[in-house]
């Protein structure tokens, strides 16, 4: 069952791999929502909202905090700013199929790392790492059968 966490889980996996720090889907979602909830960020992300959300960013963020809100372009842009990373992703989405990048704003400071993600349109987000390096447990020699 889809729970809306795959973009956040992919970001967390990429953070663990690239920055060698603990990260979870729940933590990334919370950081992104807290960032978007700040009044000073309303003007920054309001142009990305459509429909009723455009007039009420607070309500949009409240829904984002829910378990079944899927990550989207707004959350990806916010993650780049919150995590202070460049996000390079390959997508099959119409209009953006292929390679794209999302950067933090210059005011956020220089990027700490580059995260690599893959996006299967309307299906799933994953993080990408060189073969054999994507799972820290693989680097520690934990047999594949016990990795979860």
pLDDT (0 to 100) of residue 3? 72
Higher-pLDDT residue of 80 and 41 is 80
Tokens of 49: 């909202």
pLDDT beyond 70 at 147: no
Beta partners for residue 135, in sequence order: none
* % residues pLDDT > 90 (the chain): 40
Residue range 32-50: mean pLDDT, rounded: 83
pTM of the shown model: 0.80
Task: Find out whether 35 and 73 touch, Cβ atoms under 8 Å.
Answer: no
pLDDT beyond 60 at 91: yes
What is the rounded CA–CA span in Å between residue 104 and residue 108? 6
Q: How many residues does the chain have?
A: 148
Tokens of 142: 């934990």
Strands 124-127 and 114-120 come out as antiparallel
Residue range 108-129: mean pLDDT, rounded: 89
8-state DSSP, 40: G
């Amino acid at each position: 069952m889809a729970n809306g966490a795959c973009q956040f889980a992919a970001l967390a996996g990429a953070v663990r791999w690239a920055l060698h720090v603990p990260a979870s889907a729940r933590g990334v979602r919370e950081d992104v929502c807290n960032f978007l909830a700040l009044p000073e960020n309303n003007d920054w992300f309001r142009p990305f909202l459509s429909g009723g959300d455009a007039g009420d960013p607070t309500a949009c963020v409240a829904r984002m905090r829910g378990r079944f809100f899927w990550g989207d372009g707004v959350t990806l842009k916010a993650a780049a700013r919150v995590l202070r990373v460049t996000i390079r992703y390959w997508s099959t989405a119409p209009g953006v199929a292929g390679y794209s990048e999302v950067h933090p704003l210059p005011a956020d400071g220089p990027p700490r790392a580059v995260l690599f993600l893959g996006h299967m349109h309307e299906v799933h987000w994953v993080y990408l790492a060189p073969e054999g390096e994507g799972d820290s447990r693989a680097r520690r020699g934990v047999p594949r059968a016990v990795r979860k």
